[in-house]
Amino acid sequence: EIVLTQSPHFQSVTPKEKVIITCRASQSIGSSLHWYQQKPDQSPKLLIKYASQSISGVPSRFSGSGSGTDFTLTINSLEGEDAATYYCHQSSSLPHTFGQGTKLEIK
C-alpha cells in the first residue's frame, strides 16, 4: 500500500497569505496525485487532478505541482472561504490511499 504523508497537519494563516501544503508518497506514483478540499459537514471537493491539472470552477489561486514522490498544493492569496481540510490522494495503484489531511485555520 502506498502511504501519503502530508505536511503540515495544521496551519493557522492570515488572509492574502500564500500557503504551501506538501504530500510525499512512499513510492513513485508518477502524476497520479489529486487534491481535495473538505469543509466541515461537506463532501470532499476535487481541486487539482494529476498533480497539476486545474478543475473547472475551482479558483485560479489553487495550483499543484510535482511528480514521482513529492507534490505540493499552493494557495495564492488565501481567502476566508479557504478554511478547510485539504487531502491528497493517489490513484497509481490499489488500494487508493489518502494523506492524513491538512487543516487550514484562517486567523
Partner 1 sequence: EVQLVESGGGLIQPGGSLRLSCAVSGFTVSSNYMSWVRQAPGKGLEWVSVIYSGGSTLYADSVKGRFTISRDNSKNTLYLQMNSLRAEDTAVYYCARALGGAAFEIWGQGTMVTVSS
Task: Return d(Cα 27, Cα 17) in angstroms, integer.
Answer: 31
Least separation in angstroms between residue 14's CB and partner 1 is 26
Choice between 82 and 89, CB closer to partner 1 = 89
Size of the site for partner 1 (CB under 8 A): 21
Binding status of residue 46 toward partner 1 by CB under 8 A = yes
Binding status of residue 68 toward partner 1 by CB under 8 A = no
Task: Centre a 10 Å sphere on the Cβ of residue 94 and count the other Cβ atoms it contains.
Answer: 8
Please write down the HEC assignment for all residues of 8-70: CCEEEECCCCCEEEEEEECCCCCCCEEEEEECCCCCCEEEEECCCEECCCCCCCEEEEEECCE
Binder of partner 1 out of 55, 59, 70, 79 (CB under 8 A): 55
Choice between 32 and 66, CB closer to partner 1 = 32
Binder of partner 1 out of 13, 22, 101, 106 (CB under 8 A): 101
Task: Return d(Cα 29, Cα 25) in angstroms, integer.
Answer: 7
Residues near partner 1 (CB under 8 A) are 32, 34, 36, 43-46, 49-50, 55, 87, 89, 91, 94-101
